[in-house]
Homo-oligomer: A and B are copies of this chain.
Amino acid sequence: MRLTAIAGGTGAAKLLRGLVAVRPRHELTVIGNTGDDAEIWGLHVSPDLDTVTYALAGRLDAGRGWGLAGETFRCLEAMGDLGAETWFNLGDRDLATHLYRTRALREGVPLSAVTAELCRRLSVGARILPMSDAPVRTRVRTPDGWLSFQEYFVREKAQVQVLDVEYAGAAAASPAPGVLESIREAELVVVCPSNPVTSVGPVLALPGIADALAATRGRVAAVSPIVGGAAVSGPAGELMRARGLPVSAVGVAAAYAPWLRTLVIDRRDAALVPELAHLGVRAVLADIVMTDPERESALARVVLDLQPSLE
C-alpha cells in the first residue's frame, strides 16, 4: 500500500517506527517538518528530519527522543570553552549529519536531495521528504519579541509565554518535489501525533498541501498528540492555546477539520467523541501513548486497519 505520513519529531518517530515494523519500508513516504530548522554554529540543522531519519535507521536515542544513541558531546564541550552558544545540543556523531548537509546545501544541492542521500547512507529504507526545499521558519512571538522555534523550545525550554506563531516564508515556498503527489496518490495519509501548531502547522501552511489533503482519494487519518488536556510530550498545549485552539483532541480536530476524516484519540478521551463528530471528524479510540515498541506497532496497526467504509 502507498502510505504517506506527515511528521514532526519525537511523537512522529514512534508511530513511524511502528509503521515500518508492520509494513514494508518502501511503502512509506514521510513528509518532514522543516519549520524548526535552524543555523547552529554556522551549520544547517534540521531537527525534525533528523529525528525521523535516525528513528527509521534504528539509531535514535530512545531515552531522549532526539539525537543518536550512544552519542558523545565532546565538540559541544569544546565549543563551550571557546565561548560559543551551547544551548543546542549537537552530538559528535550527529555533527556529521549537519556538516554533510551544510556543505551540500552550500554547493547548491536541494535539501530534498541531501535528505534522500542521508536516508540512503543510513539505510532508512523509507522515503523522507522535507516539506519544502525553500526555507520556512516557524517563529514564536513572546512578550520579549519574536524567537525562532529552537530559541523558544530549546534555549528557553518553552517556559516563556507565547502570544503568536508564524511560518515565515511558507506562503512563498513550494512543497518539495514529490510531496503533493505523495499525498494525492497515497492510499492512506497519516498525520503523526505531532504538535499541530509547530510540527504539522508549517507543512499545512505551504501552498497546495491542505488542498491535496482535501482532494486525495486515499484515507486521511491523524493521531492526536494530546491526551486529556495536555500534550503527551513537548509544548503543544501552550502553542495551541496561543492559536486559540482548545488543548484537547477537540483542538487537534479543529485544526485539521477542513480535510481530516478520522482522528485516533486516547480511550480516556471517549467523552470527546460527540464534539469531534460535531466538527465532522470521526473519532477512533485506541491506546495512543507509545511507551515501547509493542505499543508503537499496535498503534500503527490501528491506523492501518481503519475501515475506509466508515469514513
Partner-B contacts on A (CB < 8 A) = 41-43, 72, 74-79, 81-84, 92-97, 99-100, 102-103, 106, 118, 121-122
Contact = CB atoms under 8 A, between A and B. Distances in A.
A45 to B, nearest CB: 12
A121 B84 CA distance: 10
A97 B78 contact: yes
B99 A42 contact: yes
Q: Which of A42, A103, A121 has the most CB of B within 10 A?
A: A42
Contacts of A83: 121
Contact of A43 (B72, B77, B99): B99
Contacts of A79: 96, 99-100
Number of copies of this protein chain within its complex: 2
A301 to B, nearest CB: 32
Contacts of A94: 78
A159 to B, nearest CB: 28
A49 to B, nearest CB: 14
A77 to B, nearest CB: 7
B95 A82 contact: no
Nearest to A80: B96
B78 A95 contact: yes
Contacts of A118: 82
Nearest to A105: B42
B121 A93 contact: no
A56 B164 CA distance: 50
Contacts of A95: 75, 78, 92, 95
A86 to B, nearest CB: 10
B97 A82 contact: yes
Contact of A96 (B75, B99, B106): B75
B82 A121 contact: yes
Q: Which of A76, A96, A106, A118 has the most CB of B within 10 A?
A: A96
Given A42-B106, A75-B75, A81 B96 contact: yes
Contacts of A84: 96, 99-100
A128 B18 CA distance: 55
A84 B95 CA distance: 13
Given A78-B95, A79-B99, 18 more contacts: A41-B103, A42-B102, A43-B99, A72-B92, A74-B93, A75-B92, A75-B93, A75-B99, A78-B94, A78-B96, A79-B96, A79-B100, A81-B121, A81-B122, A82-B97, A83-B121, A84-B100, A92-B92
